Amino acid sequence: MASTETRRHVRVLRPSELAEAADILRGGGLLAFPTETVYGLGGDATDGVAVARIFAAKGRPSFNPLIVHVGDVAAARRIAVLDPLAEDLAARFWPGPLTLVAPLRAGHGLSGLVTGGLDTVAIRVPAAPLARALLAAVGRPVAAPSANTSGRISATRATHVVDDLGAAVDGVLDGGPCPVGLESTILAATPPRLLREGGLAAEEIEEVTGPLARDVTPGRVQAPGQLASHYAPQRLVRLGVTAAQPDAVLIGFGPVDGTLNLSGGGDLTEAAANLFDYLHAADRLAAVQAVPFIDVAPIPEIGLGRAINDRLRRAAAPRQA
Ligand code: TXA
Ligand code: MG
C-alpha cells in the first residue's frame, strides 16, 4: 500500500480535466483511466518507451502482450485485419467488454513491445463514455493492462490505483467505480477460441460463433491473466464456504450472507461489479480484525459466474514464489 508521501505525488484528475489526461498520454506519460470493466494503466501504444514504462510500473514480465484500446472499429481496422466473423463480433459487441485477438495489419505503427513480438494484436473498443472521450482526444491507440501490480487484484476504483501503483503513474483519471467489474472476455478471432472468460458472457458470443473452443487452462499460457495464481489479495482465500468462520472475513453471495455480500439477490452481474472491490475491502477488514483468511460463498458456474469463479480460483491458488 502506498504511503501518504507517495500518494501526494499522484495526480488524480476529474472528468472535467479530460484534456490534461489526454496530454499525459500524448506526451508519453502513464495514465490510469476507467473503462467499464476495470481501470486500465494506459500508455501510447505507438511509443516504445511509454509501453516499457507500463511493464515497469506493473512489475510485469515484458514478454506478455498488452490490450490495445481504440475509440471505434475504424481505428481497430487500421491496426488489425478483421475477418468477416471478427467484423460481426465487433458490430454486435463493440463498444463493450470484448477483446478480439486478430492478425496485425502492415503499417500498424504499434510498438513491438505491445504485442510481445507476436503477429497478432489484442484490441478492444471500451464502452465507458469517459474512456471513449479520452481515446477520441488522444487520437492514438492506447495500450492498457489492468491498473494493478502484477499478480494483485484489479482496480475498479481510482483509490485502488492510487493505493497500489501510487507515484508509478503520472495521473489517475477518476471516473468512479467500474460498472462491469471484471476484465474483458478475450477471444482469438480466427478460428474463434476463448482465451479468457470475462465481462461478456461466453454464451452471448456463442450466439454469433456457435460453440466455442476454450483455451483458458491455468498455468498453460504465459499470459498473466492465465497464471494459476493471480488476482491475489494479501490474505489467503478459501472458496465455497457456506457459513461464517471465526478466522475469516466472509464474502457472501445470495442466501449465504457474510460481512459483505456480492449480491444478496443472487444476481451475477451485480456480483461481478462488486467482486474486486469486495476483495480489496475484505483484505482491509481481515487486517483490522487480524484474521488470516478471506472466505467466499459458492458462486454458480453459469454466465458471468464462470468468469467470477475463474478470478476467485486464481485468487485462492497457491502463491508463486
Ligand atoms: O478489461 C480489460 O481487458 C482490461 C481493461 C483495462 O481493458 N485490460 C486487461 O489487460 O485486462 P491485461 O493486460 O491485464 O490482460 C491482457 C491479456 C493478457 O492475458 C494477454 O496475454 C492477452 O491479453 N493478450 C494480449 N495480446 C494477446 C495476443 N496477441 N494473443 C493472445 N493473448 C493476448
Ligand atoms: Mg490484469
Q: Tell me the C-alpha distance between 242 and 140, whole Å.
A: 48
pTM for the predicted model, two decimal places:
0.86
Nearest to 301 by CA among 212, 225, 239: 239
Q: What's residue 48's pLDDT?
A: 86
Spatial CA neighbour of 264 closest among 277, 274, 252: 252
Sequence-distant (6+) residues with CB within 8 A of 88 are 208
Residues with CB under 6 A from ligand 1: 35, 37-38, 40, 64-67, 99, 101, 115, 118, 120-122, 144-146, 183-184, 186, 195-196, 223-226
Provide the pLDDT for residue 225.
54
C-alpha pair distances (Å), 114 with each of 21, 63, 86, 214, 265 = 21, 9, 21, 24, 41
**Residue 73 gets which letter from DSSP?**
H
Position of cell 498520454? 25
Structure confidence by residue, pLDDT tens digits, 263-296:
999 999 999 989 988 999 999 999 999 999 999 9
Residues of the chain whose pLDDT is less than 50? Answer: 1-7, 218-222, 321
pLDDT value of residue 277: 87
73: closest CA among 93, 56, 43, 57?
A: 93
Residue 284 grid cell: 482491509
CA nearest to 97, candidates 119, 117, 69, 118: 69
pLDDT of amino acid 150: 87
CB 15 within 8 A of CB 162: no
Q: How far is the CA of 122 from the centre of ligand 1 (A)?
A: 7
Q: Which ligand is nearest to the CA of 178?
A: 1
What is the DSSP pairing of strand 120-124 with strand 67-69? parallel
- The residues, any chain, with a CB within 8 Å of residue 321's CB and separated by 6 or more, are none
Report whether 119 contacts 98 (CB < 8 A).
no
Ligand 1 atom showing the smallest separation from residue 99 Cα? 3
- Who's near 249: CB < 8 A, 6+ residues apart? 235, 258, 259, 260, 282, 285, 286, 289, 291, 293, 294, 295
- Cell 472475513 appears where? 249
Angle at 238 between CA 232 and CA 240, to 5 degrees: 125
Instruction: Tell me what pLDDT residue 222 has.
Output: 44
Q: How far is the CA of 218 from the centre of ligand 2 (A)?
A: 14
Give me the residue label for grid cell 489517475. Answer: 172
Which ligand does the CA of 122 lie closest to? 1
Closest residue by Cα to atom 27, ligand 1, is 122
Which segments within 61-170 are labelled E, that is strand?
67-69, 98-103, 120-124, 142-143
Q: Which atom of ligand 1 is nearest to the CA of 180?
A: 1
Whole-number pLDDT of residue 55: 87
